[in-house]
Amino acid sequence: MSGSTDLWTLLIIVGLAAVTVLTRSFFFISSKPWKLPHWAQRGLQYAPIAALAAVIVPEMVMTQGQFISTWQDARLFAVAAGAAWFFWRKGAGQAVLGTIVAGMAVYLPLHLGLGW
Indicate the domain borders of the chain. Answer: 70-116
**Side chain identity, residue 50:** A
How many CB atoms lie under 10 A from the CB of residue 4?
8
pTM (2 d.p.): 0.57
**Burial (0-12, 13-18, 19+ Cβ within 10 Å), 82:** buried
Per-residue pLDDT of the chain (116 residues; tens, 9 = 90+): 556 678 889 999 999 999 999 888 877 777 777 788 999 888 888 888 888 889 888 888 888 888 888 888 888 999 999 999 988 887 666 777 888 899 999 999 998 988 88
